[in-house]
């Protein structure tokens, strides 16, 4: 269990969540009514490249915050820094007023902040159940003194297994408990990651691209699971490229580009923000393409394919040569075409 004594688990209703953000301005670094994580001046440089340079960021408690931005914007690096997997050059950050700086991932998890990875870290040669059990921190059996008192850690082992089984049932992986993790599909591994992350009963869960590589059939159930974390009173921060997913489940969206927070807003107002359109929505290079079971493009991919076809037809009509002409299918160009 996290050491934090603040009651950070009271689930918020949908109305409460949206009214929380009513008075929050759409400006980078804007204060939130009841922030749990607060980041100040956090920067990280690799060689000459400033991967992260966040002046100020507050994450609202009990809500889902979507973190978006083009490839290389610094999203994963920020996750790494906040959860102790990397150390910043400058800056401080805290949860409920308690500094999380200079801590190991293990210590950060004990404070109540956990994360999952873009590429799932399931240990393929261990069973699904053992993978989840490994998410527990601070088992009494780890301490030498306790090896002299095996009854204390045996009882704890039982508790850990019980909790792991409960979590496997929550994520509908209980039937796979004794299978090797290596036999799971991409989507099931994401669920396994979430189950493992929840072993410490965290207050804040940071999910790095939980939908990436997931079979579309599992996407809805994965989204449901993420919402259920919030409905249990947890604070969720998640990185995602798919704007439909962002709009569907985020209460608030933070946009990063070139290491910094360049915009924040409610999901419905994202497209109105010029900085966001320029830095993110205007570039399609990292948008996940989606197709149905017959190989036909769906959703945003269908719009993109249609726009591409139309732009190609126009290029040919006006006597252009497709082998030498780049067709501009950015949203700005498409808007121009439609008007």
Ligand X SMILES: Nc1ncnc2c1ncn2[C@@H]1O[C@H](COP(=O)(O)OP(=O)(O)OP(=O)(O)O)[C@@H](O)[C@H]1O
Stretch of residues binding ligand X (CB under 6 A), selected from 16-24, 73-81, 148-156, 188-196: 73-81
CB atoms within 10 A of CB 276: 23
| Residue 178 neighbours by CB distance under 10 Å | 9
Q: How far is CA 14 from CA 63, 167, 252, 254, 278, in A?
A: 10, 25, 13, 19, 31
How many residues bind ligand X (CB under 6 A)? The answer is: 11
Residue 89 within binding range of ligand X, rule CB under 6 A: no
Which segment (15-23, 46-54, 290-298, 311-319) binds ligand X by CB under 6 A?
46-54
User: Residue from 11, 19, 25, 46 that binds ligand X (CB under 6 A)?
Assistant: 46
CB of 55 to ligand X, least distance (A): 17
Q: How far apart are CA 231 and CA 209, in angstroms?
A: 20
Q: Which is nearer to ligand X, 149 or 289 (CB)?
A: 289
Nearer to ligand X, 62 or 69 (CB): 69
Q: By CB under 6 A, tell whether 49 contacts ligand X.
A: yes
For ligand X, the binding residue among 69, 84, 112, 135 (CB under 6 A) is 69
Strand partners, 261: 256
Per-residue tokens: 229: 């974390």
In whole angstroms, the minimum distance from the beta carbon of 23 to ligand X comes to: 29
Query: CB of 77: closest distance to ligand X in angstroms?
Result: 3
Q: 146 with 140: CB under 8 angstroms?
A: yes
Under the binding rule (CB under 6 A), the answer on residue 54 touching ligand X is: no
Asked if 275 is part of the footprint of ligand X (rule: CB under 6 A), the reply reads no
Our finding on whether 119 is near ligand X (CB under 6 A) is no
Length of the chain: 339
Is 46 or 158 the residue whose CB approaches ligand X more closely?
A: 46
Q: Which of these segments, 28-36, 75-83, 137-145, 153-161, binds ligand X (CB under 6 A)?
A: 75-83
- Residues 6 or more apart whose Cβ sits within 8 Å of residue 338: none
Choice from 32, 61, 75, 190 touching ligand X (CB under 6 A): 75
How far is the C-alpha of 152 from the C-alpha of 143, rounded, in Å? 11
CB-based contact 4:112 (threshold 8 Å): yes
Q: Does 116 bind ligand X (CB under 6 A)?
A: no
DSSP calls for 40-73: EEEEEEETTEEEEEEEEEEEETTSEEEEE-STTS
Beta carbon of residue 82, minimum distance to ligand X (angstroms, whole number):
12
Q: Which residues bind ligand X (CB under 6 A)?
A: 46, 49, 51, 69, 71-77
């Amino acid at each position: 269990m996290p050491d934090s004594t603040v009651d950070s688990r009271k689930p918020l209703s949908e109305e409460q969540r949206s009214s929380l953000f009513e008075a929050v301005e759409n400006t980078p670094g804007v204060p939130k009514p009841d922030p749990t994580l607060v980041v100040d001046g956090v920067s990280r440089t690799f060689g000459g490249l400033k991967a992260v340079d966040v002046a100020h960021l507050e994450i609202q408690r009990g809500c889902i915050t979507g973190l978006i931005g083009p490839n290389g914007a610094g999203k994963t690096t920020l996750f790494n820094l906040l959860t102790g997997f990397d150390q910043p050059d400058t800056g401080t950050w805290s949860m409920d007023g308690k500094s999380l700086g200079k801590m190991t991932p293990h210590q950060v998890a004990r404070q109540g902040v956990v994360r999952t990875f873009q590429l799932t870290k399931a240990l393929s040669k261990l069973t699904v159940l053992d993978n989840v059990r490994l998410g527990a921190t601070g088992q009494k059996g780890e301490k030498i003194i306790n090896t002299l008192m095996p009854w204390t850690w045996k009882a704890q082992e039982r508790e850990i297994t019980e909790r792991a089984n409960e979590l496997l049932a929550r994520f509908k992986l209980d039937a796979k408990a004794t299978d090797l993790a290596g036999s799971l599909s991409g989507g099931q591994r994401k669920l396994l990651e979430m189950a493992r992350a929840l072993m410490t009963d965290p207050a804040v869960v940071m999910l790095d691209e939980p939908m990436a590589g997931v079979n579309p059939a599992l996407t809805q159930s994965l989204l449901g699971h993420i919402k259920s974390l919030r409905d249990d009173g947890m604070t969720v921060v998640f990185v995602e490229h798919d704007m439909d997913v962002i709009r569907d489940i985020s209460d608030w969206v933070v946009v990063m580009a070139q290491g910094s927070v360049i915009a924040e807003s409610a999901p419905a107002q994202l497209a109105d923000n010029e900085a966001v359109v320029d830095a993110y929505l205007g570039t399609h290079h990292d948008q996940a393409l989606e197709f149905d079971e017959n190989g036909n493009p769906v959703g945003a991919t269908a719009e993109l394919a249609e726009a591409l076809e139309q732009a190609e037809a126009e290029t040919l009509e006006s006597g252009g040569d497709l082998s030498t002409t780049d067709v501009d299918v950015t949203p700005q160009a498409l808007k121009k075409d439609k008007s």
